Amino acid sequence: MTENDKSVALNPYLQGLQWGFLALAVAILLFQYAFNRSLWLDEASLALNIQERDMQGILRPLDYDQAAPLGFLVIVEGLTNIIGISEYSLRLVPLIAGLITIGLLIWVCRMIAPSALPLALGLLATSAIHIDYATEFKQYALDATLALWYLGLSIQISRQAHPKYIALATLTGVIGVWFSHAIIFMLAGCGVVLWFDAICQQNWRTLGHLTLMGIIQVISFGLVYIVSYQAVLHSTPLADFMNNFWEDYFLRATPYSVFWFIFHTFTHLAGIGQLVLIVLVFYGFLLGLSRIGWRVGGFIFVPVALMCGASFLDLYPLSDRFLLYIFAPLMIIIALGWHSLIHNIAKKNPRVGVGLLLILTVLLLIRIPVPIYKDDVRGAFEWLESVRAPNDPVYAIILTGRTGKYYGYESQHFPAPIPTDERVWIVIDRPLSHPQVGLNVTHVVYSFIGRYGIYVMCIPTINKPCPINLGNSS
């Protein structure tokens, strides 16, 4: 048996993994969506803007310290006007984007490295950050979808600069900037690589088409900037809030900052706490990096370089959600490195190669986080309404109270002076011992201790004790 014959022994396993991971990727998203967890703070803050505004109002700067692409907001506003506002309707657009991303990963991976497809699907299907944002009412799943789509178009143009592909890329850029903040890095980065490639090949006709494409995309981005971005970037309360909130996530010209960015990226690619997988992911990335061409590498890493430049200027934080758009391309590179390693080992010993493939499969499967839970504010307020007397005051930390407000539960802001002559209920998202709670009372009774970070406490008085049936409702 030749070495190639030995490596072919992997094919049935890889084919099975490909279909298995594809089915798993779709099933996990549908399950997490159907699980219908409570909205958490970020979702509720954005949802309140949808709930309290009409279509015209949604075009103005948002309340509750929020910012989102106008196209995304308009689609969700229109959708909720038709089918009503609920967790399902709010999360439908991200879900569709997440499902499309699965298909786009297959398309792009087949262009870059077809052999890496099974493991690339495995990385995506079991990725906590992909599952989370594809089933959460935020815009970041659209970032990933549009970025992967534009990467595929750029690869097509680099191989065959047909005007129809350039026209489609132009249209994607013109529309995409209204639906995604991160897409601008892909437009600029891929555009630079395509432009440079056309110059190297002395293809002046294509260069002209690409230049026109860039001009049209810049005009569209300029309109978005005037209409939307100024409120987030320049001398407004929202801009000040965003800069202060994300201050620790901007890149700095220090070794620690660069190391933190790299470690943060690979931690989320592998899974938080998955130390063995973090090492394997980084090793697979290094192997895969040596096997992709310079054009594909440019399409992926020039946008990353531009993103880092924007972060250095305090314009783009490098938090997990803002990196989501680049994760799928990185997964393809990692999968390519893994496949290359397994393939080379299988040439010498097919059993060892199959064993390594199975180990990677198990490591991917055990990191599946479904179902993903977050602060169960909805459950806490529902329980509270079932036990409290109608006139009992309810206090909530302002951010928890904001989520309660979306669900129709009114509360007063906490911390605040607590009445001592009546029974009081307090809803917080941190333990009583937390310094931000700071309750100076001795008769607090935990009445709802949520597994997912929400606490309801009862402060009794002599005349109004806490209900007898209090206890850990979780």
Q: 113-147: per-residue pLDDT in tens?
A: 999 999 999 999 999 999 999 999 999 999 999 99
Contact indicator for 459, 443 with CB cutoff of 8 Å: yes
Nearest to 64 by CA among 402, 315, 412, 375: 402
The 3-state secondary structure of 366-403, one letter per residue: CCCCCCCCCCCHHHHHHHHHHHCCCCCCEEEEHHHHHH
Structure confidence at residue 389 (pLDDT)? 85
Structure confidence at residue 5 (pLDDT)? 45
Q: How far apart are CA 15 and CA 152, in angstroms?
A: 23
SS3 250: coil
Structure confidence at residue 218 (pLDDT)? 96
**pTM of the prediction?**
0.91
Looking only at the bridges linking them, the beta strands covering 455-459 and 445-449 are antiparallel
Q: At what angle do helices 275-289 and 350-365 cross, to 10 degrees?
A: 120
Q: How far apart are CA 462 and CA 169, in angstroms?
A: 70
DSSP labels for 416-466? Answer: SPPPSSS-EEEEESS-TTSTTT----S--EEEEE-TTS-EEEEE--SSSPP
**Strand order across the 412-414 sheet:** 412-414, 394-397, 424-428, 455-459, 445-449
Q: What angle do CA 155, 157, 161 make, to 5 degrees?
A: 155
The 3-state secondary structure of 158-216, one letter per residue: HHCCCHHHHHHHHHHHHHHCCCCCCHHHHHHHHHHHHHHHHHHCCCHHHHHHHHHHHHH
Q: How far apart are CA 280 and CA 453, in angstroms?
A: 32
Q: How far apart are CA 122 and CA 25, in angstroms?
A: 8
Torsions phi, psi for 425 (to 5 deg): -115, 140
Positions of the chain with pLDDT lower than 70, given as ranges: 1-10, 231, 235, 415, 430-444, 446-453, 468-474
DSSP state of 55: T
Point out which residues pair with 62 in neighbouring strands.
none
Nearest to 375 by CA among 44, 139, 51: 44
Q: How far is CA 283 from the centre of its chain?
A: 24
Q: Per residue in 367-406, is it b (16+ CB within 10 Å) or e — as a string?
A: bebeeeebbbbbbbbebbeebbeeeeebbbbebbbbbbbb
Q: At what angle do helices 255-270 and 275-289 cross, to 10 degrees?
A: 100
Burial of 123 (0-12, 13-18, 19+ CB in 10 A): buried
**Cα dihedral sign, 389-395-397-399:** positive
In the block, which residue shows the tokens 């990727």? Answer: 25
Q: Per residue in 18-53, is it b (16+ CB within 10 Å) or e — as a string?
A: bebbbebbeebbeebbeeebbbbbbbbbbbbbbeeb
Q: How far apart are CA 339 and CA 59, in angstroms?
A: 47
Q: Per residue in 263-282, is it b (16+ CB within 10 Å) or e — as a string?
A: eebbbbbbbeebeebbebbb
Structure confidence at residue 193 (pLDDT)? 97
SS3 68: coil
- 412's enclosing H/E stretch is strand 412-414
Nearest to 299 by CA among 199, 193, 171: 193
SS3 346: helix
What are the residues whose beta carbons fall under 8 Å from the beta carbon of 459, sequence distance 6 or more?
418, 423, 424, 425, 426, 439, 441, 443, 444, 445
